[in-house]
Structure 1
Amino acid sequence: MIKKLESYNIVFIGFMGVGKTTISSHIAKLLNKELIETDVYIAEKANMDIPSIFDKFGENYFRDLESEAVAEISKKRGVIISCGGGAVIREKNVLELKESGIIIKLTATPNTVLQRVKGSKERPILNGHMNTEFIASLMEKRDNFYSNAADITISTDGKTVDEVAKECIEKSILFIESK
Structure 2
Amino acid sequence: MRKKLEKCNIVFTGFMGVGKTTVSAYIANLLNREVIETDQYIVEKANMDIPSIFDKFGENYFRDLESEAVAEISKKRGVIISCGGGAVIRKKNVLELKESGIIIRLTATPNTVLQRVKNSKERPILNGHMNTEFISSLMEKRDSFYSNAADITISTDGKTVDEIAKECIEKSITFIESK
User: Per the shorter chain, which TM-score range?
Assistant: over 0.9
Partner Cα separation in structure 2 for residue 136 and residue 26 of structure 1: 27
Query: SS at the partner of 2:143?
Result: helix
Q: Does 1:126 align with 2:105?
A: no
Q: 1:107: which partner in 2? A: 107
Q: Does 1:78 align with 2:70?
A: no
Q: 1:52: which partner in 2? A: 52
- Superposed, which structure 2 residues align to 1:8-157 within 5 Å? 8-157=8-157
Partner Cα separation in structure 2 for residue 163 and residue 157 of structure 1: 11
Structure 1 position 4, deviation (Å): 3.0
Give a deviation string over 1:101-132, Cα, whole Å, max 9, x none: 00000000000000000000000000000000
Partner Cα separation in structure 1 for residue 178 and residue 3 of structure 2: 16
Partner Cα separation in structure 2 for residue 128 and residue 2 of structure 1: 45
Aligned residues: 179
Query: SS at the partner of 1:145?
Result: helix
Structure 1 position 133, deviation (Å): 0.2
Partner Cα separation in structure 2 for residue 67 and residue 13 of structure 1: 14
Structure 1 position 78, deviation (Å): 0.3
> How much identity, in percent, do the aligned residues show?
89
Query: SS at the partner of 1:36?
Result: strand
| Normalised TM-score (structure 2) | 0.99
Q: Does 1:169 align with 2:172?
A: no
Partner Cα separation in structure 2 for residue 2 and residue 164 of structure 1: 18
Structure 1 position 23, deviation (Å): 0.2
Q: 1:160: which partner in 2? A: 160
Q: Which residue type is aligned with residue 73 of structure 1? A: I
Q: CA RMSD in A?
A: 0.6
Q: Which residue type is aligned with residue 177 of structure 1? A: E
Q: Which residue type is aligned with residue 89 of structure 2? A: I
| Normalised TM-score (structure 1) | 0.99
Structure 1 position 64, deviation (Å): 0.2
